Amino acid sequence: GEGGTIRIGVAGAHSGDLASYGIPSIKAAELVVDMYNANGGVLGRQVELVIEDDVCKPEVATNTAAKLVGDEVVAVIGHICSGATKAALGIYKDENIITISPSATNPPLTKSGEYPNFLRTIAPDDAQADVEVSFAVDTLGLKKIAVLHDKGDYGKGFAEFCKAQIEAKSGVEVVLYEGIQVGAVDYSAIINKIGNSGADGVIYGGYHPEASKLVSQMKKKNMDIPFLSDDGVKDPTFIKVAGEYSEGVYATGPVDTSSNPMAIKAVEDHKAKYGEEPGAFFLNAYAATIAVLNAIEKAGSTDYEAVSAALRSEYVETPLGKISFDEKGDAIGVGFAVYQVQNGEYVELK
Amino acid sequence: MSDAPVLEVNDLSMVFGGLRAVDNVSLNIKKGEIVALIGPNGAGKTTFFNCITGVYIPTHGEVKINTSEGSAVLNGLKPNVINEKGLARTFQNIRLFSNMTVLENVMIGRHQSLKSGILSSVLRTKKNRIEEQKVIDDSYEILRKIGLEMYVNELACNLPYGAQRRLEIARAMATNPFLLLLDEPAAGMNPQETNDLVELIERLRKEEDITILLIEHDMSLVMTLSERIYVVDYGKMIATGTPEEIKNNKEVIKAYLGEDIDA
Amino acid sequence: MITIKDLKKAFLNALWFIFLTFPIMVMKVNTINDTLIWRWMNMLYIGVAAFVFTLLGKIYTVRKANRSEIVKPSLIQIVNSKMENKKVRYSSLAAVVAIVILYPFLMSMYQTSIMTTALMYVVLGLGLNIVVGFGGLLHLGYAAFYAVGAYTYGLLFYHFGLNFWLCLPIGAVFSALFGIILGFPILRLRGDYLAIVTLAFGEIVRLVLENWNEFSFGPSGIANIARPMIFGQKLKLAQVTNFTYFIAVGLTILTIIVIRRMESSKMGRAWEAMREDEIACQAMGIDITKAKLTAFSMGAVWAGIMGVLFAAKTTFINPASFTTWESIVILCVVVIGGMGSIPGVIAGALIFILTPEYLRAFSQYRMLIFGIALVVMMIFRPGGIIPKIRRSYQFAADKEETQEVEA
Amino acid sequence: MLKIKNISTYYGNIQALKDITIDVSEGEIITLIGANGAGKSTTLMSLCGIVPVKSGSIEFEGQEISKMNPDRIVSLGISQVPEGRRIFPQLSVRENLDMGAFLRNDKDEIKKDIEYVYDLFPRLAERRHQQGGTLSGGEQQMLAISRALMARPRLLLLDEPSLGLAPLIVQQIFDIIKKVNQENNTTVFLVEQNANMALKIAHRGYVLETGKISMTDDADKLLANEDVKKAYLGI
Amino acid sequence: MNLEYFFSLFLGGLTRGSIYALIALGYTMVYGIIKLINFAHGEIYMIGAFTSLIIGAALAMSGMNPILIFVLACLAAIVYSAAYGITIERLAYRPLRKAPRLSVLISAIGMSIFLQNYVLLAQTSDFLPFPLVLPNMKFLKPIEHMMTTTQFLILISTAVVMVLLTILIKFTRMGKAMRATSQDKDMAQLVGINVDRVISMTFLIGSATAALGGVLISSHIGQINFYIGFIAGIKAFVAAVLGGIGSIPGAVLGSFVLGLTESFGTGYISSDYEDAFAFIILILILIFKPAGLLGRKENEKV
Ligand SMILES: Nc1ncnc2c1ncn2[C@@H]1O[C@H](COP(=O)(O)OP(=O)(O)OP(=O)(O)O)[C@@H](O)[C@H]1O
Ligand SMILES: Nc1ncnc2c1ncn2[C@@H]1O[C@H](COP(=O)(O)OP(=O)(O)OP(=O)(O)O)[C@@H](O)[C@H]1O
Ligand SMILES: [Mg+2]
Ligand SMILES: [Mg+2]
């Protein structure tokens, strides 16, 4: 209520097999809120987090959203998966609740214009695909590309954009376009197929566990063609898991901000508080939380229209750099770059 | 017409792998008769029943029925169709619906006689309600006739063995057969209970106007009840005749009855 | 009550569990950072817990052995016998009706929303109960029918703008057809062979939805599906939540009535007989092909209807909602509630679906607790929460007799 | 040898045995007769520990067995031919016989015993490789008896061994029971519906009526008893 | 048609098949004895893998010889999985010996959920690189691009385990007791079999097999997390049923059929429907052989 605390919801997969993508955003929000509260809160009020699990399932996400609505949150950081986000947005939209996702990259979420209350601190899949394909074709000079994906909404969506963009270019063709089976014990069949297709490069849409299996099995079979992937793979865990096989792999990811002092501080704080390195989408969630709190402060109230306008007009300093949001809700200033694993580390290619 | 046998089996054979369990058996039964099928263990009696009732598809031969509705060949039909045609049976190894009540077991037997479909039972039309109540009452009546009314709401599996055997008969009777096939109905009964069973079968035949073919090892029952007896051994028919004839048939005595048979 | 021997046993159990859980509870390895942490306290906790639980278990068995001398009627029997009384029956019915009607107005939107979900599982459970509980056919692909319903509405709405009410019966019919399609190839299969084929069928349906983009939009699914409307009026969120709740209530009541009547009809008995003994069943003149196919299609109908409601409630569908896991959840509802028992399945769904929601407070531990709860529940109530009670019948003959006695 | 003292057994809430007391001495054949559902089979199952007894005691050769596990009880030398035969349906005839000798280790003797039962029931020898489950009813009964004999029991429990057997074989079975009793000094506890035959070969008999022992006497006296005649012999 | 391509798909299918087989063997054994679709079997496999990861990583810090570490970690996995197997049987299945079969199934599902979350909470939800890696064997050098050392070991272990289990079941006393127990528990007791012990032994052996699978397969894949058991369990279930559930050679044959179908399906059609091929072949086979490839038809005498 007025004068009381300001409530911010944090929603996403906090349990189950996708928890590792959701839990870092809780920690990010906690760190930011602690920081604000220590400095007297926002508009003189303390900020309180309401954390709700949606296990990344649309049907659970609607209940989660109803719970957050009932708890009178002003804004929600989340959800994590695009599917759950779409289901929950149906509810937030009717209740005028600002929703900022650190990780839902499905383009229609912003591009369709259906959800004016939705924003995100991550670039959409098509933007990423753009970067990926032009790198593959223009920089690496690939001519025959195999495009694979994990059949998930993120991976397949990304792969589709890649495919479309490759096909739009002349002199390049998609020689193989297929979904792989997540959790399969062995990928030799699909790898043989890549070999058989005569591809001179692979673009993979999906997350790092499958990617590392693919890469290592390819290398073991002495198949030495470039392997390019997405943000889901641009994760230090990938390098750890795939070990020497990860060497040379390309992945797109948000422009490197690790030298950003705020990012350095955020990671340090995380280590201090939780004793470990932060996980996936940590910085995006961190930025989202700062953006919301900053907008409330700038708007001078928790009123939806005011906060929404403030988010779009005010630039704010975040670990991702200085950002704001465009009309559709995509972050301005959050772009993609291509990285390559070199000597066991992702290095941004300029 | 009335002279034509109700059941006519011609040259029936059933082969399992290399074993001829039933070997060229022919048999016929006239309306209203009680006929027994006897023979040593493993002679093929139950297999013969299984072939007639559609549980097995006979390797060779023909099973035919003649009723007021004309004659029909049964081989190759499914068990439920054969049952519809008016043949009902009991099982040697009791096969009741063990977790259903005694009454429900009998009600299952009435399944064929019910006409209303799913829709009318969901809408619970008047016709449907009347029909349902009638099934219940009919089934109860059957149980009463067979002397099982004290068990109506018991689960079938909790009944003593002898009662289960009688419930098998009740359930078979509920399908309104013209021909009843009983596989060792007296097994597991003591002599007194067997006497009661004899009475029951006699009564069923008289009151319900049915024909009976039975398999039994209890000679006192076979000899008192049946009008004709068929004897099989190693799948082959070795003798047929009245009880007196069979009792004195050398081959039957040697293969099956043994020397001193009282009764 | 507790002897030295028991203490010794408890101690040995404690040692066993310390041994058993040692690598996983005490050591924590992270091969990403190459760290190894020792958590010796966990060893202590495990030991103490195993010790205490062994003793509690012992006390429980001793108590139970002493108690069962006089067998008390169970709570359910008491309730049932109370229900015999018309007055009690009608007044408790009235109370239930009142609670059901007032519920959304007294509770928050969230509570209403999860109650709607729970009611949907009641219907799903009751539908699956036809196949598993009545027919005895273990079905692990039920979610496929759920998906058929959901996609029926999702696609018809997307392409033709058909509304919820129109799609409800269409979804039901499509699902029933799928039930029959599934039924045919598996008529000859028994027991667990049936289970695996139904599982396979469910997965195939999901894989098709996942891969056939042109038809189903693949994993990104269909968003912005319309919520239920009254006379074409779009409702506000709170209103539509309540409205959806009442639709769920209505459908639940419809399901209960229809399934109860089916159960006590000719078909219902045929299903049961089929479950007990297929051969005897055929010998009694029942066509088991027909019985199986009707069981599958009548079971599928409810999944189809709930699928439509699901799409309308979440406004977004994608194949990830219809996994084998979903089928397993519905199966759990049926078995935990009490197979073949309608009140059981209702109780099962409410408990099974609401418990994890109320365990949200334990967020990380809730699935752990949930897993244990399943095991414990089955051990203490293997027949389910409210096991099936067989109905007994009224006979005309009975009535005559009592009249005779009176006369 | 066997002392059953005041045992009561329940199925859920239903009491199937009420205070049964039975004594069997070494080398005897005793028979238990009674109507359907009297509790005869339950008595045997309680004895073997398959159905737990609620109260009372069972002593076998001085050892209390009422709380023992069935496999321990069997290892003391008790074996049973259960009602309904209970053949292992997917084992062959030969394997079923081997199972009977499960607790024995004397290979050569086992071989001899197998030959012995094949001698008793040539039909089984013919069918030795057939799956137990596909045998005819009577063949299964022969197999069940043979399987029990394979254990070389000191106390043999027979639950309606003549059920479903051809008259010739019934006669033979009773002869075999007698023979086993006389030659091997095996004590026999016989439950039979065919009371006539049973009482003829038994030394003593018990009559069980709805879970209670209602009468016990020497077999020939029971055979002559009017009540028994009327109720169980059908005369 | 490209012969080398065909051949490499074939080898890939075999590899996959032997991986499934290693899990399916234990599965089918447990099923054989108590007719339980043991949903927790996949979790036993996962626990085996995790135990070896933990022990292996801990030992690696001491700088021991990698082969020795592999052997020790493998042993630890086997011991622990077996211990988990019998404990689960004791706690979650034995009290339900007389309960309806579906209740036991639900109990197994509960156990599976519990074990997943137990490992998730006590360890981590992340994928961890699997530290146990076997050095390449020299004689495999020429076909290395088609078959690695681990694949080779998996194939060999499958064959060895299958032979051992077949011998165990067909010819030993324990095997006989297992078969009798699976057909009629009361009667098994009446011939003097300690049914509880036999069932425990079955779980012990089945779980140990799963652990061996856990170590070898994880070493092949190179990473594990708490969730790997679920899919493995389902696939093993499919394989076991395909071959005729309860039959040891059946489980292996079923696994190979499954592996080859998936491999050729992916290679010649599309990996989009990889799992679908597996399920379609399952349905087709069961339509024509309702008891699986090597399953004995339940010969029901009426
Ligand atoms: N499904 C089957 N497969 C193989 N053999 C079978 C099968 N059914 C029956 N048999 C064999 O066929 C023969 C005849 O069996 P059947 O059951 O008909 O005998 P029966 O005359 O009824 O004997 P009983 O009086 O002992 O019941 C037996 O030897 C039996 O082993
Ligand atoms: N598993 C069971 N559950 C419940 N009641 C049972 C069970 N088994 C037997 N009974 C009941 O216990 C009583 C005794 O049964 P039992 O089988 O011992 O009788 P019996 O003397 O052997 O009869 P029969 O001659 O028919 O074999 C019967 O009333 C029976 O209904
Ligand atoms: Mg027979
Ligand atoms: Mg008995």
pLDDT of residue C67: 64
Q: What is the pTM of this model?
A: 0.90
Which residue of chain E is at minimal alpha-carbon distance from B54?
E302
pLDDT of residue C403: 47
D37 lines ligand 2 (CB under 6 A): yes
A100 has a pLDDT exceeding 90 = yes
E145 lines ligand 1 (CB under 6 A): no
Q: Which residue from D124, D136, D165, D173 has its CB within 8 A of the most atoms of ligand 1, so it is best to mutate?
A: D136
The answer to whether the beta carbons of residues D212 and D32 sit under 8 Å apart is: no
A56 has a pLDDT exceeding 60 = yes
Contact at CB, E180 and D91, closer than 8 angstroms = yes
CA distance E204 to E227: 22
Calculate mean pLDDT across residues C98-107: 89
Calculate mean pLDDT across residues C226-239: 79
* Residue in E192, E300, E301 nearest the CB of D102: E192
pLDDT digits (tens, 9 = 90+) for A198-221: 999 999 999 888 999 999 888 888
pLDDT digits (tens, 9 = 90+) for A311-333: 998 888 888 888 889 988 898 87
pLDDT digits (tens, 9 = 90+) for E177-212: 999 999 999 999 999 999 999 999 999 999 999 999
**Which chain A positions have a beta carbon within 8 Å of C219's beta carbon?**
83, 151-153, 156-157
Calculate mean pLDDT across residues B85-92: 91
Report the sign of the C-alpha dihedral through residues E5, E6, E11, E17, in that order: positive
> For chain B, what's the residue count?
263
Determine whether D67 is exposed, middle or buried from the number of CB atoms within 10 Å of its CB (0-12, 13-18, 19+).
Answer: exposed
Q: Report residue C46 as tokens.
A: 């495990």
pLDDT of residue C397: 56
Average pLDDT, chain E: 89
CA distance D11 to C396: 33
* Residue in A51, A62, A153 nearest the CB of C113: A62
- The 10 Å CB-count burial string (b at 16+, else e) for C231-242 is eeeebebbebbb
C70 has a pLDDT exceeding 70 = no
Which residue of chain C is at minimal alpha-carbon distance from A115?
C224
Calculate mean pLDDT across residues B109-125: 81
Contact at CB, A151 and E272, closer than 8 angstroms = yes
Q: Place C386 in a pLDDT band, splitting at 50, 70 and 90.
A: confident
Q: Place C298 in a pLDDT band, splitting at 50, 70 and 90.
A: very high
pLDDT of residue C405: 44
pLDDT of residue A345: 87
D40 lines ligand 2 (CB under 6 A): yes
Q: Place C406 in a pLDDT band, splitting at 50, 70 and 90.
A: very low
pLDDT of residue A3: 62
Residues in B 30-59 with any Cβ partner in E closer than 8 A? 46, 50, 55
* Residue in D36, D123, D166 nearest the CB of B160: D36
The residues spanned by each domain of chain E are 11-229
Q: What are phi and psi of B26, to 5 degrees?
A: -120, 145
A285 has a pLDDT exceeding 80 = yes
Q: Tell the residue number behind the tokens 């949200």, with chain if given.
A: C360
Calculate mean pLDDT across residues E206-234: 90
Of chain D, the percentage scoring pLDDT greater than 70 comes to 99
Alpha-carbon distance A134 to nearest alpha carbon in chain C (angstroms) = 25
pLDDT of residue B71: 84
Q: Place C187 in a pLDDT band, splitting at 50, 70 and 90.
A: confident
Q: In this complex, is the C-beta atom of C20 within 8 Å of any C-beta atom belonging to chain E?
A: yes
pLDDT of residue C53: 92
Alpha-carbon distance A3 to nearest alpha carbon in chain E (angstroms) = 39
pLDDT of residue D188: 94
Q: Report residue A170 as tokens.
A: 């002349």
Calculate mean pLDDT across residues C27-50: 90
Q: Place E165 in a pLDDT band, splitting at 50, 70 and 90.
A: very high
Q: What is the ipTM of this complex?
A: 0.88
Q: Which domains does chain D have, with CATH numbers?
A: 1-77+154-235 (3.40.50.300), 86-152 (no CATH)
**Ligand with the closest atom to the CA of B22:** 1
pLDDT of residue B115: 77
Alpha-carbon distance E202 to nearest alpha carbon in chain C (angstroms) = 19
In whole angstroms, how far apart are CA E260 and each of A220, C203, E99, E219, E248? 21, 19, 39, 21, 19
DSSP state of C339: T
All CATH 3.40.50.300 domain ranges of chain B, comma separated, are 1-86+177-263
- Going by C-alpha positions, the residue among A193, A227, A275 that lies closest to residue C37 is A275
**Ligand with the closest atom to the CA of B232:** 1
Q: Tell the residue number behind the tokens 């926002």, with chain if given.
A: A42
Contact at CB, C272 and B104, closer than 8 angstroms = yes
Angle formed at CA D134 by CA D130 and CA D135, multiple of 5 degrees: 75
Q: Place E109 in a pLDDT band, splitting at 50, 70 and 90.
A: very high
Of chain C, the percentage scoring pLDDT greater than 70 comes to 93
Calculate mean pLDDT across residues B45-57: 92
Which residue of chain C is at minimal alpha-carbon distance from B49?
C283
B237 has a pLDDT exceeding 50 = yes
Contact at CB, C371 and E112, closer than 8 angstroms = yes
Name A229's bridge partners.
Answer: A204, A251
pLDDT of residue A85: 93
- Going by C-alpha positions, the residue among D44, D122, E77, C386 that lies closest to residue E69 is E77
pLDDT of residue A98: 93
Between the CA of B48 and the centroid of ligand 1 the distance, in Å, is 9
Q: Give me the CATH code for the B1-86+177-263 domain, please.
A: 3.40.50.300
pLDDT of residue C404: 45
The answer to whether the beta carbons of residues D211 and D17 sit under 8 Å apart is: yes
Between the CA of E185 and the centroid of ligand 4 the distance, in Å, is 19
Q: What are phi and psi of C316, to 5 degrees?
A: -145, 135
Q: Place C401 in a pLDDT band, splitting at 50, 70 and 90.
A: low
Specify the range with the lowest mean pLDDT, choosing from B4-8, C394-398, D131-135.
C394-398
The answer to whether the beta carbons of residues E124 and A17 sit under 8 Å apart is: no
Q: In this complex, is the C-beta atom of B144 within 8 Å of any C-beta atom belonging to chain E?
A: no
For atom 7 of ligand 2, the residue with the nearest CA is: B158
B261 has a pLDDT exceeding 50 = no
Average pLDDT, chain C: 87
Beta strands D204-209 and D29-34, pairing class: parallel
pLDDT of residue E167: 93
Contact at CB, C279 and B55, closer than 8 angstroms = yes
Between the CA of B42 and the centroid of ligand 1 the distance, in Å, is 5
B231 C-beta neighbours (distance < 10 Å), count: 24
Of chain B, the percentage scoring pLDDT greater than 90 comes to 43
Which residue of chain C is at minimal alpha-carbon distance from B110?
C284
Q: Place C180 in a pLDDT band, splitting at 50, 70 and 90.
A: very high
Calculate mean pLDDT across residues C135-142: 91
Of E228 and D235, the structure prediction assigns the larger pLDDT to: E228
The torsion defined by the Cα of E19, E20, E25 and E28, in degrees rounded to 10, comes to: 170
Q: Place C307 in a pLDDT band, splitting at 50, 70 and 90.
A: very high
CA distance A285 to C245: 34
Between the CA of B255 and the centroid of ligand 3 the distance, in Å, is 16
E252 has a pLDDT exceeding 80 = yes
Contact at CB, A213 and E16, closer than 8 angstroms = no
pLDDT digits (tens, 9 = 90+) for B183-231: 999 888 888 888 889 999 999 888 888 999 999 998 889 999 999 999 9
Contact at CB, D37 and B162, closer than 8 angstroms = yes
Candidates C107, C158, C208, C220: best to mutate against A (most CBs of A within 10 A) is: C220
In whole angstroms, how far apart are CA A128 and each of A310, A338, E11? 27, 10, 37
Q: Place D60 in a pLDDT band, splitting at 50, 70 and 90.
A: very high
Left (φ > 0), alpha (ψ -120 to 50) or beta: where does C218 sit? Answer: left
E300 lines ligand 1 (CB under 6 A): no
Alpha-carbon distance E274 to nearest alpha carbon in chain A (angstroms) = 7
Specify the range with the lowest mean pLDDT, choosing from A300-304, C66-70, D155-159.
C66-70
CA distance D37 to A91: 65
Three-state DSSP class for residue B75: coil
pLDDT digits (tens, 9 = 90+) for D167-226: 888 888 888 899 889 988 899 999 988 888 889 899 999 999 888 998 899 988 988 888
pLDDT of residue E291: 86
pLDDT of residue C363: 66
The answer to whether the beta carbons of residues C282 and C266 sit under 8 Å apart is: no
Rounded to 10 deg, the angle between the E101-122 and C324-337 helix axes is: 120
pLDDT of residue A240: 84
Specify the range with the lowest mean pLDDT, choosing from C72-76, C208-212, C232-236, C260-264.
C72-76
Specify the range with the lowest mean pLDDT, choosing from B113-117, B135-139, D3-7.
B113-117
Candidates E271, E277, E279: best to mutate against A (most CBs of A within 10 A) is: E271
B263 has a pLDDT exceeding 50 = no
Q: Place C396 in a pLDDT band, splitting at 50, 70 and 90.
A: low
C185 has a pLDDT exceeding 90 = no
Calculate mean pLDDT across residues C368-394: 85
